[in-house]
């Protein structure tokens, strides 16, 4: 049980690294606690609400009671399966805004500006549209497609945005993110195209890449250098050795937990749990960020929503169509139109995201409101609240403590109030006149700031985009955990490559930038020169300083 590189976690970044490292001839062992991704609950895009609530696929993490949300405990799903969270997520594909990555570089992540990361986004993509060729890749492992938008509600959403004065964008992952337009997904030929499908399964067909089903307990560090990973496998504790490097790609929840169990983290916190201090890095577990969102729901005048399938026979018909032909509603995640807008004048680039969905239902599928209806998932992109991941005990089997500290900054409340008012304006446009019957949530009675705040306190939900807990930065930054080459500061032979190293959360869903991290860190591990920067200039609204749209 030895390889050049040992990767902990077969998730978005881990799968990408396994593919690129083995492609280059290095030997790779990937440690994954979860099992197979076979079966319709993962592979059928329309079944996306199921795997994130199934213990066989999800770690089952929960937050501590959130003090600014009335003590609510929120679910924090993370994938425990090959493909990681790319096997249980909503399949939405968003790179992030160019300014997100420029901000990373300004925060100390040198070499991670948009010009630096754009070549890696292009390398990983197999994009199936024909516009913006300079911005997109078309021969990478990751298939990226758009839904058919057959339901008239998808185009009504885009047209309502145009009528409200917002731009329409052909490709929010290309030159212009800001505006309303079609949404993209990691779906190919009617199936989820996860990081396991794109990267890991092809890598495992090579002789120099293997998957080890085991529970990682800690990194083995000898003489200041990571030499392997201690695991529990088939009831026995074993050590899997790394000849060159160990890479943690275990998620923004499990990567900081593993670092702390290995003696890397805030010294006082480690000592509190009787753990020896190998490297005092106070930033481990700090800087936890996420996107929150609300579901603004509207009752439909016409019976054209997915509610028609929300019964035993309807679900059986959708399932049969998918199983037999990979077609029908089950072949889409149903997020087929979207928007990125700015909340107010003076905001340089979008800070609000919309997912539009032609049914009024919770993300986990547990409640349908008032029969036929539709909704927009909406929330701010750059919350100022910060939380933490910490150890519950020194036992590897115990889940960590997760406290996002949601809505702890007063600006977050102001940003969410803007989301509510701007969304109401969009759904009041003529394009929705044939479809909107009335507002379900928050409801017409919720108008004042106090009423909106009470609604938010009870109804905001995580968009499941945790990141930032092993922050990347300059080596002399006391709160940085990894340097710009993803090397853990204070320990040799150990890197981290997943969403935990993000200095700041990016716009939109995090699967695409997480895969990009794996692609870029693979080159760093191999000692290769980074791909040459691509200095394309993204579109920024020329009136951003004086106009909201």
Q: Which of 328, 332, 335, 330 is nearest to 358 (CA)?
A: 335
At 452, list the tokens. 């909106």
Strand bridging mode 28-32 / 61-62: unpaired
- 259 sits in which H/E element: helix 251-261
- Show the DSSP H helices in 306-409 as ranges: 312-325
Cα 203 from Cα 240, distance rounded (Å): 19
Cα 427 from Cα 48, distance rounded (Å): 26
Indicate the DSSP class of residue 85. G
8 Å CB contact between 134 and 307: no
Listed in sequence order, the residues at least 6 apart from 42 whose beta carbon sits closer than 8 Å to its beta carbon are 51, 57, 81, 83, 87, 88, 192, 194
Work out the end-to-end distance of the chain between its first and last CA atoms, rounded to an integer number of angstroms: 57
Cα 371 from Cα 447, distance rounded (Å): 24
Helix (H, G, I), strand (E, B) or coil at 81: strand
Q: How far is CA 377 from the centre of its chain?
A: 15
Catalytic annotation present for 377: no
Buried b (16+ CB within 10 A) or exposed e, 451-488: ebeebbbeebbbbbbbbbbbbbbeeebeebbbbbebbb
Query: Cα torsion at 540, 543, 544, 546 (round to 10°)?
Result: 170
Q: Of the residues 33, 68, 355, 465, which is catalytic? A: 465
Indicate the DSSP class of residue 346. T
Bridge partners, residue 472, by sequence: 482
- 117 sits in which H/E element: helix 114-124
Q: Which of 486, 478, 441 is nearest to 461 (CA)?
A: 441
> Which residue numbers are catalytic?
465
């Amino acid at each position: 049980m030895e390889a050049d590189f040992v990767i902990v976690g077969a998730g978005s970044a881990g799968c990408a690294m396994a593919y690129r490292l083995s492609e280059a001839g290095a030997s790779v062992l990937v440690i994954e606690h979860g099992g197979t991704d076979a079966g319709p609950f993962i592979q059928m895009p329309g079944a996306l609400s199921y795997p994130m609530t199934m213990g066989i696929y999800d770690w089952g993490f929960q937050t501590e009671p959130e003090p600014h949300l009335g003590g609510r405990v929120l679910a924090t799903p993370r994938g425990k399966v090959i493909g990681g969270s790319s096997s249980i997520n909503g399949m939405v594909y968003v790179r992030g805004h160019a300014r997100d990555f420029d901000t990373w570089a300004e925060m100390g992540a040198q070499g991670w500006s948009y010009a630096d990361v754009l070549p890696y986004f292009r390398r990983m993509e197999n994009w199936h549209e024909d516009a913006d060729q300079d911005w997109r890749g078309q021969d990478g492992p990751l298939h990226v497609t758009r839904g058919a938008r057959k339901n008239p509600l998808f185009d009504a959403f885009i047209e309502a945005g145009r009528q409200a004065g917002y731009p329409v964008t052909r490709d929010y992952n290309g030159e212009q993110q800001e505006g309303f337009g079609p949404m993209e997904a990691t779906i190919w030929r009617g199936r989820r195209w996860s990081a396991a499908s794109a990267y890991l399964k092809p890598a495992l067909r090579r002789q120099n890449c293997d998957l080890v089903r085991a529970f990682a307990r800690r990194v083995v560090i000898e003489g200041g250098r990571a030499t392997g990973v201690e695991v529990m496998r088939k009831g026995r504790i074993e050590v899997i050795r790394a000849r060159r490097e160990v890479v943690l790609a275990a998620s923004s929840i499990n990567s900081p937990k593993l670092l702390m169990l290995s003696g890397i983290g805030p010294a006082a916190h480690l000592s509190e749990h009787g753990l020896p201090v190998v490297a005092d890095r106070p930033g481990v577990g700090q800087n936890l960020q996420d996107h929150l969102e609300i579901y603004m729901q509207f009752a439909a005048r016409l019976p054209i929503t997915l509610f028609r399938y929300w019964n035993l026979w309807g679900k059986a018909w959708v399932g049969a169509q998918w199983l037999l032909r990979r077609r029908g509603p089950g072949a889409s995640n149903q997020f087929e139109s979207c928007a990125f807008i700015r909340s107010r004048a003076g905001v340089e680039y979008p800070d609000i995201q919309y997912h539009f969905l032609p049914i009024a239902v919770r993300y986990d599928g547990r409640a349908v409101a008032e029969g036929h209806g539709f909704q927009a998932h909406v929330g701010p992109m750059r919350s100022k609240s910060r939380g933490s991941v910490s150890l519950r005990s020194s036992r590897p089997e115990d889940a960590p403590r997760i406290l996002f500290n949601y809505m702890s900054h007063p600006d977050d409340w102001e940003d969410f109030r803007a989301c509510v008012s701007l969304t109401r304006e969009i759904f009041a446009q003529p394009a929705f006149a044939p479809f909107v019957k009335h507002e379900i949530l928050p409801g017409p009675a919720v108008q004042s700031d106090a009423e909106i705040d009470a609604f938010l306190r009870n109804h905001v939900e995580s968009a499941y985009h945790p990141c930032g807990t092993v922050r990347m930065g300059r080596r002399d930054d006391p709160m940085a955990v990894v340097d710009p080459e993803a090397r853990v500061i204070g320990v040799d032979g150990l890197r981290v490559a997943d969403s935990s190293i993000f200095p700041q959360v990016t716009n939109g869903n995090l699967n695409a930038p997480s895969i990009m991290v794996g692609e870029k860190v693979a080159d760093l591990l191999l000692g290769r020169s980074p791909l040459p920067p691509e200095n394309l200039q993204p579109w920024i609204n020329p009136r951003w300083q004086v106009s909201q749209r």
